[in-house]
Amino acid sequence: MARKIKMIMAKPGLDGHDRGAKLLARIFAEAGMEVVYTGLRQTPEMIVSAAEQEDADVVGLSSLSGVHNYFFPRVVELMKEKGLDDVLLVGGGGGIIPEEDYDSLKKSGMAAIFGPGTPTTEIVSFIENNVRKR
Amino acid sequence: MFDEKVLQKIQAGKDNWDQGPLAKSLSKSPEAKPVFTTISGTPVQRLYTPLDIKELDYDIDLGYPGTFPFTRGVQPTMYRGRFWTMRQYAGFGDARSTNERYRYLLKQGQTGLSVAFQLPTQAGYDSDHPLSMGEVGKVGVAIDHIDDMKTLFDQIPLDKVTTSMTMNAPAGVLLAMYLAIAQEQGVSWDKVGGTVQNDVLKEIICRGQYIYPPKQTMRLTVDLIEFCQKNVPKWNSISISGYHIRESGSTAGQEMAFTIADGIAYTQACIERGMAVDSFAPRLSFFFNAFTNVLEEVAKFRAGRRYWAKVMKERFKAKDPRSMMLRYHVQTGGVTLTAQQPLNNIVRVALQSYATALGGAQSLHTNSYDEALCLPTQQAVTVALRTQQIVAEESGATDTIDPLAGCYYVENMTDRIEAEIDDYIKKIDAMGGTLAAIEQGYIQKEIQNSSYRFQKEIESGERIYVGINRYTMEEPPPTGLLKVDMSVGEIKAAELRNYRAQRDQAKWKAALDKLRQVSATNENVMPYVVEAVKAKATVGEICDVWRGVFGEYRPKEFI
């Protein structure tokens, strides 16, 4: 049997808005992934260490307090330092992540930023199509 | 409300209509969908008649405004005496820029202030703490110490305005700063009016700005309530909040039920402290959401008022009618706003404000149309304030009290929501109370299930949301969004270094040592918090004292 996709859902920073993160965690689990939700107040170091410990294939970052430009690239950087380059990094934060930030976040190493109104099915298929194969 | 004969006649008429005109119409053209539901998923009948409220007893269930069970409102004249307080939640960047926004809002006819603090302050960290990186001044104003607070209220007379502070685990620290500034302005504490949120249970349930474990954080909550009861009699010492419960996905009924469950827990804790119920209950206040389904919201508010009055009278044996009044602030539903076609949000907010007025709130924050995208721009804030002014001055909703009373649908829904609240309270009681229900994840899971149902309805197209799954359009990216200056973090860090170096070290250390010592006993900490902020202790330092004494809360996650 194929190994399940292992996913870390993470909330970087002090933002408490976790409705989306929890909802997606449930939807990813229903789609057959193995999901670990980190809970709130994660530093980039904590997120990367969770990814390493869990041998995650995907890390999802959710931020609605406007700190994505600080936190997302920092997670990418630390992942690289740990040699976790092949872990898929995706993020979202509704309309609070303006479209004008997408390019720079992707350039920094995020595989995708999902904007407001993205159907969850689209997020699931993006992950399934782009996750590393083992 | 109707005698048996009248009801029989109505029943006969209804049967005739069902079998005649209705059946004929349905056979020609069916209705648009098989089941109609509110946004909370509650089924809605085709038609409501007196038959749907035949159990309603006017005197017992509705009564009169300002009298038990307060279904029709908490004051005898409601908005004919005075409109609700128009209170826009605001704060960003440093204290100086937020002070400018406050003075602008007051000049525009706003009647109360509401402080949005940055996340580090809410989580009890100073602006230069490693966890504050990137967050300083972002979603609220950066307040680290009493001098920041002084700047925040510069030229604002604290005996003239009332101030609401969204502050929970560290509520006592920020209240202490406010009270110290009032003293400096020459305003005695019995003249200071306002609210601190101080509702730590909902932080654990859904909002996430907790610091200490439930029992210890509840102790601080009760300390604050007790202190205000003795020293700041006009201060609302807690704002028990359903707003965030709703934002995180609950239904209207769950919002009211879980808020009342929290209210019961706080009341119980105060009574266990030795306070008489009527000594503090009149200063318990509440905070709710308003969504776009106007009639469901009105029913929710009415049901909540009636249920809370009964809880206070029957469960807690309150005698003072003021103890039984569900007095509340409303904020329109943040989560109902769309990033798509943002101007549509003005209409949503208008309907939500109308629901709030028809529901009988004591104060209101109207969201700005651009808030799904950024902190509100000045233009958007002005439209939001004008929206509630239009509802107050032009809509007519304020001319008569509880105008929807007697509406068959609204009365039926009021009863139904009250029954839902009662059902939840009984379940929670059976689990051992609110804290136990939270520890078991029961409340969190109920909310998450509703959030999941809503998402599925949207994605299947079963529920239509304008601009999301219907009436969508290609749009250029939005422009003119408010950007918070990222340099606030660096400026604050430098300022803090200076501040800590220049204060009277001996006085500062003595105040924190005393606070630490008292926190480990059962004595009320508040007087010592006031001394600590006067001795220039920062928010982070005071919260660290308590981290040392109480430990930190690490929640279990329930997915």
Q: Per-residue pLDDT tens for B416-430?
A: 999 999 999 999 999
| A22 close to B (CB below 8 A) | yes
Across the interface, which of A40, A70, A100 has its CB nearest the CB of B133? A70
Q: Which residues pair with residue A59 across a beta bridge?
A: A8, A89
Q: Give contacts of A70 with chain B, Cβ < 8 Å.
A: 133-134
Mutation site for B-interface testing, chosen from A8, A11, A14, A99 by largest number of B Cβ within 10 Å: A14
Mutation site for A-interface testing, chosen from B133, B457, B482, B485 by largest number of A Cβ within 10 Å: B133
Q: Give contacts of B125 with chain A, Cβ < 8 Å.
A: 14
Three-state secondary-structure class, residue B380: helix
The CATH architecture to which B59-460 belongs is: Alpha-Beta Barrel (3.20)
State the complex-level ipTM. 0.96
- Least confident among A117-126, B101-110, B316-325: B101-110
List, for residues B211-227, the tens digit of each pLDDT value: 999 999 999 999 999 99
pLDDT at B484: 79
| A71 close to B (CB below 8 A) | yes
Burial of B520 (0-12, 13-18, 19+ CB in 10 A): exposed
- Close Cβ partners of B153 (under 8 Å, ≥ 6 residues apart): B99, B163, B178, B181
Peptide bond into B282 cis (omega under 30): no
Could you give the strand order of the β-sheet that contains A58-62, starting from the edge strand earlier in sequence?
A34-37, A6-10, A58-62, A88-92, A112-114
| A118 close to B (CB below 8 A) | no
Taking the alpha carbons at both ends of chain B, their separation in whole angstroms is 46
DSSP letter for each residue of B58-97: IIIII--TTSTT-TT-SSSSGGGT-PPEEEEEE--SSHHH
Across the interface, which of B139, B208, B477 has its CB nearest the CB of A66? B139
List, for residues B332-343, the tens digit of each pLDDT value: 999 999 999 999
Token code pair at residue A65: 């307090």
Q: Give contacts of B247 with chain A, Cβ < 8 Å.
A: 19
| A79 close to B (CB below 8 A) | no
Q: Find residues 87-146 of chain B whose CB sits inside 8 Å of chain A.
A: 119-120, 122-123, 125, 130-135, 138-139
Q: In chain B, pLDDT over 90 holds for what percent of residues?
A: 95
- For residue A134, pLDDT over 80 is answered with no
Token code pair at residue B452: 């999941």
Cα atoms found within 13 Å of the Cα of residue A71, Cβ hemisphere only: 35
pLDDT at B481: 87
Across the interface, which of B131, B139, B338 has its CB nearest the CB of A41? B131
Q: Give contacts of B484 with chain A, Cβ < 8 Å.
A: 66
8 Å CB contact of A67 and B138: yes
- Phi (first) and psi of residue B485, to 5 degrees: -65, 120
List, for residues A53-97, the tens digit of each pLDDT value: 999 999 999 999 999 999 999 999 999 999 999 999 999 999 999
State the average pLDDT for chain B: 96
Across the interface, which of A37, A67, A116 has its CB nearest the CB of B135? A67
Q: Which CATH superfamily includes the segment(s) A6-128?
A: Cobalamin-binding domain (3.40.50.280)
| A116 close to B (CB below 8 A) | yes
| A45 close to B (CB below 8 A) | no
List, for residues B11-44, the tens digit of each pLDDT value: 999 999 999 999 999 999 999 999 999 999 999 9
Across the interface, which of A14, A19, A67 has its CB nearest the CB of B451? A19
Q: Give contacts of B448 with chain A, Cβ < 8 Å.
A: 22-23, 26
- Least confident among A74-78, B1-5, B277-281, B380-384: B1-5
pLDDT at A74: 96
**Is B304:B421 a contact under the CB 8 Å cutoff?**
yes
| A125 close to B (CB below 8 A) | no
- For residue A1, pLDDT over 70 is answered with no
| A50 close to B (CB below 8 A) | no
pLDDT at B479: 86
Token code pair at residue B187: 């305003």
8 Å CB contact of B448 and A25: no
Q: What is the domain partition of chain B in residue ranges?
A: 59-460
- Across the range B355-364, mean pLDDT stands at 98
| B211 close to A (CB below 8 A) | no
Q: Name the CA radius of gyration of chain A, rounded.
A: 13
Distance of CA B288 to the CA centre of its chain: 4
Q: Find residues 455-484 of chain B whose CB sits inside 8 Å of chain A.
A: 455, 459, 468, 477-478, 481, 484
pLDDT at B366: 98
In this prediction, residue A2 has a pLDDT band, given cuts at 50, 70 and 90, of confident
List, for residues B513-526, the tens digit of each pLDDT value: 999 999 999 999 99
